[in-house]
Amino acid sequence: MDYRHTMKGRRALSAVAITAGLLLTVAGCGGGDDGKSDKGTPSSTAPAKSGDDGSKAQSKAPESDTVLAEVKGEGGVTLTVKSAKRDGGGFVTVEGTVANGTGRAWSVGSWRGDERELAKNGGSMAGASLVDETGKKKYLVLRDTEGRCLCTRFTGGLLQGQSTDWFAQFPAPPEGTTKVSFQVGGMPPASIEISEG
């Protein structure tokens, strides 16, 4: 029991440190607004969003009962997509939950992707992608300048029976594109619809 509490404390401390770092990064990018609108110019930075690293695994109530898609795979893992919203800065934020029904502790390492620069993301949603079959394009999770994904990192994986919320940010497909497939790791693709945020 002490080990569990220690890990929860470490996860909470990690979440606070990551959130503080993201806030400082975003604050450093702000300023210089002289009142002129630059709606035609694409933004060069992604909106910051702190990731849920699993420290609030079962205590956080879902924000919405809406389910866009649910897929099962990897020996009992259930991935649920609850929202896919197009943000004003040209991004799509996909959110949902993942539940471990494998009967044992589950490591999320296979979800980080195969790219060398994603290796430092550990167990995370870094390997997720959106596929626009009509436009024949694949969109990968956005990253910061140090190669860290703008997505949830699952510190320590998930214990048997545990579930947690997740998010991942992608470049937005063209305005007319609303239907895409979401895929991560060895999970089957999930057909989802992008809504305006």
In this predicted structure, the answer to whether residue 12 has a pLDDT above a threshold of 70 is no
**pLDDT at residue 8 is higher than 50:** yes
Check residue 44 and give its pLDDT.
Answer: 39
Which SS3 state, helix, strand or coil, does residue 119 take? Answer: helix
What are the boundaries of each domain within the chain? 2-27+49-196
Query: In the prediction, which pLDDT does 114 show?
Result: 66
Residues 6+ apart with CB under 8 A from 33: none
Q: What CATH fold (topology level) applies to the domain 2-27+49-196? A: Immunoglobulin-like (2.60.40)
At 106, the pLDDT band (50, 70, 90 cuts) reads confident
- The phi, psi pair for 6, rounded to 5°, reads -65, -45
Smallest CA-to-CA distance from 126 within 138, 143, 145 is with 143
DSSP 8-state assignment for residue 60: S
Q: How far apart are CA 15 and CA 195, in angstroms?
A: 28
Pairing of the two strands 91-100 and 77-86: antiparallel
> Whole-prediction pTM value?
0.65
Mean pLDDT of 183-187: 88
Q: What is the pLDDT of residue 56?
A: 38
Write down the pLDDT at residue 158: 84
- Is the C-alpha dihedral spanning 12, 65, 129, 75 positive or negative? positive
